Amino acid sequence: QVQLVESGGGLVQVGGSLRLSCVVSSGRFFSSYALAWFRQAPGKEREFVGAINWSGSSTNYADSVKGRFTISRDNAKNTVYLQMNSLKPEDTAVYYCAARVGSRSVPVEFNYDYWGQGTQVTVSS
């Protein structure tokens, strides 16, 4: 059984920063997984934010967050992070951590097998 637990969401002002964390519990080695963050705003479909490969050597991002968000992972702590800087009101959403068995990071939702419960991020103006 694979469990993903996100934390770190909250209320922040425009221009502020937050760091989300996601701890993965699994019978597999953590490095067996490529990981990603997605988000879903009210009334909208869930969308890709960023992804990281098994070693952390490769990342990719949605255009809307490039240069502001950074995804990273600590394989010793079974944790993936999303550092969010220069936050905007349009970043308000529930953020989900996702994992797939495989080495490559991919920006497509249906490739991910395991999901966390989500953490709310609200950016106020």
Digit-coded pLDDT (tens) for 8-35: 999 999 999 999 999 999 988 888 899 9
Q: Which residue carries 């991910």 as its tokens?
A: 112
Instruction: Give the pLDDT of residue 51.
Output: 97
Q: How many angstroms separate the Cα of 76 from the Cα of each of 73, 80, 90, 92?
A: 9, 11, 33, 30
* One-character DSSP codes across 66-124: TTTEEEEEETTTTEEEEEE-S--GGG-EEEEEEEEESSS----GGG--EE---EEEEEE
Give the phi and the psi of residue 13 in degrees, each rounded to 5.
-85, 160
Digit-coded pLDDT (tens) for 66-85: 999 999 999 999 999 999 99
